[in-house]
Every structure is written in structure tokens, then in C-alpha cells.
Amino acid sequence: WNYDDAITDLVVWAQAYYPELAQQLYQETGIDPEFYPTGLYMLDSAEHNKALAWAQRTQADLVNVDIADVYHKAPQLGSGFHQALAMPTVGNIRNPRLLQALIASLKRSPRFRLLPDESVQSIELNGHHLVGVRTAQQVYQADKVLVAAGAWSPLLVESCHIPLAIEPVRGEMLIFEPCPGLLTTMVLHDGKYLIPRKDGRIVVGSTTEQEGYHKITTEAGYRTLLAAAHRLLPRLETMAIEKHWAGLRPGAPAGLPYMGESQDISGLFVCAGHYRNGLVTAPASARLMADLILNRPSVIAAEPFRLDRPRINAEMF
């Protein structure tokens, strides 16, 4: 409800496709991305009524639920919560396992080549004509290039005069050791969330820090996440933390990503700026980009994501 309706369209398409994608990849590669349809509870949201109005307008699967039902579903939840919204049909997926499965699937294709040790330094042009990409080793010629480098995308296309209003936003996360059955639904409160994995691990996220391209963890971030975890699920006070890590989100105005082809350089495409919605919209974003690159009718409207769209007079993200 805080994002453009175009984001909602991406989310709806992706959520419907994720179970099929996960099953297909598992059967093909033997790697299970672990799509887990847990549902989600939003606790004591300051935007409770706004969210309900959005759900009614968009026909989204979001409903008001009695807090007693939440404690029945999650009996270890911390005390003192009073109201809740539920999205009963949403799920989560293990992003590292999803990427592993996707790479394994692509490697089965003779037309796929992965170069993990070569970073792209620049887009090669001849005037306004696309040549390819340059790495430290060589220039790879290509008729079409897709820049999907997250928060680093603006650095790659600035020489092509594509002004992407994208900034890096650091997010820190924790993951707790497995405790099967401790939590079986996602919960969200005051901007922090718990995500249970199939194996019993629990992910805690996340901070929002505008500190440039510094992908580091901090003591302050650790304390913030730990306090949120203990508030939501006090049993976590006795659980060991397996990992504390950080990533950089590509934040764009109003959270609206850039997806499309350059109007000046034929064959140069960009897919970046999804901020917090990268994983949740990934299948839909991939389908949209495939449709655009192959010049076929798209199942998702591309107009809102154009690279040359008017600047939005809104706060970042």
C-alpha cells in the first residue's frame, strides 16, 4: 500500500509463479529453493486501516484477524500485541538456494556461459551504437546487453547518459540456528520481521542505513536486530546466532524500479532499483525483461518502469 500499483502487479504475478518455479528447478537440478507458504502477520501496524483500504481497492489477499488467532498460530510470540493483519497465502524462499538452482539450470544449456571472475568495467559504445561490455580481460561483443547490477547499475550506465536515480541502502540481517517448530509463520512489526525457514532457522531483518557503498555489519545494527528478535520471539534469547551479514539495496524514488531499453542506445537494457522488492518480484521482473528483450507482447505493463520516465516528486524508496 506504500508502493505504486505497478509494484503490486509485479508482486501478484511473481507470487503466483514462485511455487511452480521452485518445483521445476528442484526437479531439474535436485536443488530445492525451499518455497515455504507460511503466510504473514503484521502486528500493531500504524497503517492498519490504510492497508485494509488498499486491500479492498486492489483485491489483495490481506485481512484483519483477531490477535488471539495469531497467538494460536504462533504461541511463542512475545506478549503485548493487540491487533493484526494477515496475508495468509504469501510465502518465502531461500534466496541462496534459488540462485544455486537457477545457475545449475542455466549451466545445462549449451548457450549459457558464466564468467564469475570477470567484473564488467564499462559498456562499450561506438557513438550511440552498442558494441558490448568491457572487462579487465577483454571486450565481449553483443547486440543486446542487460545491466542488472543492483545498486551499482548507475555506475555502469552513467557513461551512456542514462540517469538512474538509484542509491545504495545498506540492510543488515541475522539468522538463528535451527529450532524446528518454534515459528511457522512470518511476522512483521515496526519495520522488523522474522522469517522461518523450512529447516527451522529464523531470519531477522532488517536495518535501513544510507552509508554509501559500505557493505559492512555494525554493532548498532546487530543490537537493533537482536532487540527486535527478542521482542517478537522471546525464545530467541536462548538461541545461537549463526550469521550476521549486510547487503546493499538499490533504492529508487517511490521504490519504483527501472526496467526497459535505452531510448538512445538500441539493445541496451536496464533492470535495477527494486529496493526491498527484488526477491519478491524477481520472476515477474525477469519475465518482463525477457518479453522486452525478445520484442514480444508483455504479460506485465512496462510503461511505469521506463528508463526515461518523468522524475517522481517523492522521497527515495
pLDDT for 312 equals 61
- C-alpha 242/C-alpha 177 separation (Å) is 6
pLDDT for 214 equals 95
- Assigned CATH topology for domain 1-34+110-162+253-309: FAD/NAD(P)-binding domain (3.50.50)
Among 11, 185, 27, 213, residue whose Cα is nearest residue 105: 27
- CATH 3.30.9.10 for domain 40-88+167-251, yes or no, is yes
Which parts of 56-201 are beta strand (E)?
A: 63-65, 84-87, 120-126, 129-135, 139-141, 145-147, 167-176, 186-189, 192-196
Q: Delimit the domains of the chain by residue range.
A: 1-34+110-162+253-309, 40-88+167-251
pLDDT tens across 247-302, in order? 999 999 888 999 999 999 999 999 999 999 999 999 999 999 999 999 999 999 99
Asked whether the beta carbons of 255 and 314 are under 8 A apart, the reply is: no
Which helix H or strand E contains 20, and what residues bound it?
A: helix 5-29
- Domains 1-34+110-162+253-309 and 40-88+167-251 are alike in CATH topology: no
* Per-residue pLDDT band at 1 (split at 50, 70, 90): confident
Question: Residue 305 gets which letter from DSSP?
Answer: G
pTM given for the model: 0.92
pLDDT for 316 equals 56
Instruction: Determine whether 314 is exposed, middle or buried from the number of CB atoms within 10 Å of its CB (0-12, 13-18, 19+).
Output: exposed
**Does residue 315 have a pLDDT over 70?**
no
Which helix H or strand E contains 182, and what residues bound it?
A: none
**Does residue 53 have a pLDDT over 70?**
yes
